[in-house]
Copies of this chain bind each other. A is one copy, B any other.
Amino acid sequence: MERLSGYRGGLKKALEAEGIDVGDFVSILTEGFEYQGILMPRSELEDEWHMVLKLKSGYNVGIAFKPGETIFKRLREAEKPRFEPPPPPVSKEGLPRVSIISTGGTIASRVDYFSGRVYPAISASDLYSVVPELSEIAVIDSEILYSIFSEDLTPKHWVGLADGVAEKISEGVNGVVITHGTDTLGYSAAALSFALQDLPVPVILVGSQRSSDRPSSDAALNLIGAVTAAAAAPFAEVVVGMHTTTSDIDIAFHRGTKVRKCHTSSRYAFQSVNAEPLVRYSKGKIEMLLSDYKHRDPNRLLSLRNNFEERVALIKFHPGFNAELMDWLVDQGYKGIVLEGTGLGHVGQICFKSIERAMREGLIVVMTSQCLWGRVHMKVYRTGIQLLKMGVISMEDMLPETALVKLMWTLGQTNDRREAVELLKMNISQEFSPRTFYKSEGMKR
């Protein structure tokens, strides 16, 4: 690699004068403060007046260079973090068996110290070695199924993932853990919730918001919690396990159909929306938070239903929305449209003609709300009534992302419109909360 990669101009010259290179442990004295840390490389996108230092805390800090004022000192060459080779698989008598399937993402990634960037790199067995506690909880076998960023996962990957889980289950494991990038973790969790019916054991998706070589990483605890749940928890559903707070203490397991990434970067980014988390992991213990769940039963026969129809679109309505976009989808041979409407489940009248056309051409159009929290309720205002009359189906309190996955899944199960509508209105995997007719609308809001 080029010396002082990414540094330019006066700053580069000043660093060179002190014999400093990227990777060195340095002291920087500027504006009365002293910073100590590893000099990180910069990218060509950034200005030439800042240097980036990785502090002992693991955080990167940007420091402005003041020519003639800032003082540099090379203390020593940086100690690069080392990853131990994985230990040979240990088969302890009596321990449950858990499979870890790796699909990529931050939990399976590390910072590349020569680019300063995060790459998906660690294999599942590396993770096993990085978190030695795992060997006390279960006998683990691990497999790298994919090694891509989760934004590049498509419904085709859901098919392969469901196949992979089904295979592990057929081998008799006590539970399956899937490490997954957090970007589309919610979508995959919903997909597996529909694809893996009659699960005998838990399937736990787990990610991390900070790469595992950072002191603030949530990867280790998330993995320990996930493996513990997979090994011994009493439920047999698809869940996502992530931190509940900024503290490295508790993990909440959210149902795969009700979970959403609600923060770009915090540890507690994942939340159950219109539902409570199913399980909590705290201090080594698994606690069921809800009483109504599918129980673990090794004798139950998994039913694998992993067909997904990709010609389904998620459309977010907004002022100025161009309804011809829906006509384009119809022209492209789309089979279904999930509307992310406003409020209780509305779109402007400007959309009505295109929705009616989509209906005539046999598409299924369903309604969710961009509010995310609360329930779609289309009998309150005239707009909703009109949309219902056209045949738009209310998705109740389902997340738009889950509704997308469910519509893809439904149209992957049947070509019969009536049957598809029936499936959509059926609560397959806790994707919506049932409403009780006797409870008043007002109180439920």
CB pair A187–B265 under 8 Å, yes or no, is no
Chain A 315-335 interface mask (CB, 8 Å, partner B; 1/0)? 111111110110011001000
Instruction: Tell yes or no: A28 within 8 A of B by CB.
Output: no
Contact between chains at B373 and A264 (CB < 8 Å): yes
Bound-state Cα–Cα, A226 to B59, Å: 44
State which of A67-75, A122-130, A435-443 sits at the interface with chain B: A435-443
**Cross-interface CB contact of A62 among B59, B216, B328, B437, cutoff 8 Å:** B437
Q: Are A320's CB and B328's CB within 8 A? A: no
A157 contact set on B, CB distance < 8 A:
319
Known: A216-B442, A372-B262. A381 touches B149 (CB 8 A): yes
Q: What's the interface size class on A, roughly?
A: 35 or more
**A374 near B263 (CB under 8 angstroms)?**
yes
Contact check, B59 vs A440: say whether CB atoms are below 8 A apart.
Answer: yes
A444: nearest chain-B partner, CB-CB: B265
Given A316-B340, A318-B401 in contact, is the A262-B442 Cβ separation under 8 Å? Answer: no
Flag if B380 contacts A117 (CB, 8 Å): yes
A269-B374, A328-B328 given; A153·B440 CB < 8 A:
no
Q: How far is the CA of A188 from the CA of B318 in the complex (A)?
A: 11
Shortest distance from the beta carbon of A137 to any chain B beta carbon, whole Å: 29
Q: Does A375 contact B (CB under 8 A)?
A: yes
Most chain B Cβ neighbours within 10 Å, of A151, A319, A379: A319
List, in ascending order, chain B residues with CB within 8 A of A370's CB.
261
Q: Are B59 and A441 in contact (CB under 8 A)?
A: yes
> Quick check: B442 and A59 within 8 Å, CB to CB?
yes
Q: Shortest Cβ distance from A61 into chain B, in angstroms?
A: 5
Which of A92-100, A195-203, A341-349 touches B? A341-349
Q: Which of A98-149 contact B (CB under 8 A)?
A: 117-119, 149
A383 on interface, CB distance cutoff 8 Å: yes
Q: Which residues of B contact A372 (CB under 8 A)?
A: 262
**A43 and B385 contact, CB distance less than 8 A:** yes
CA distance A374 to B376 in the complex (A): 26
Which residues on B sit within 8 Å (CB–CB) of A150?
A: 342
Q: Tell me the complex Cα distance, A324–B328, Å.
A: 10
Enumerate chain B residues within 8 angstroms of A118, measured Cβ to Cβ: 380-381
Q: Is A4 an interface residue when CB atoms closer than 8 A count as contact? A: no
Q: Which chain A residues (199-256) contact chain B, with CB distance < 8 Å?
A: 209-210, 214, 216
* 296-339 of chain A: CB within 8 A of chain B: 308, 310, 312-322, 324-325, 328-329, 332
Min CB distance, A410 to chain B, in Å?
A: 14
For the complex, what is the distance from the CA of A324 to the CA of B157, rounded to whole Å? 20
Given contact pairs A313-B322, A443-B59, A151 touches B374 in the complex (Cβ within 8 A): no
The smallest beta-carbon distance between A312 and chain B, in angstroms, is 7
A-B contact pairs, 21 of them (CB 8 A): A43-B379, A45-B388, A50-B437, A57-B442, A58-B442, A59-B440, A59-B442, A60-B442, A117-B382, A149-B382, A149-B383, A151-B317, A152-B350, A209-B445, A264-B371, A269-B373, A313-B321, A313-B325, A314-B318, A316-B316, A320-B408
Binding site for B on A (CB under 8 A): 43, 45-46, 50, 55, 57-64, 117-119, 149-155, 157-158, 181-184, 187-188, 209-210, 214, 216, 261-266, 269, 308, 310, 312-322, 324-325, 328-329, 332, 340-350, 369-377, 379-383, 385, 388-389, 401, 404, 408, 437-438, 440-443, 445
Apart from A118-B380, A183-B342, A264-B344, 6 more pairs, CB < 8 Å: A55-B440, A157-B319, A263-B373, A266-B374, A324-B332, A328-B328
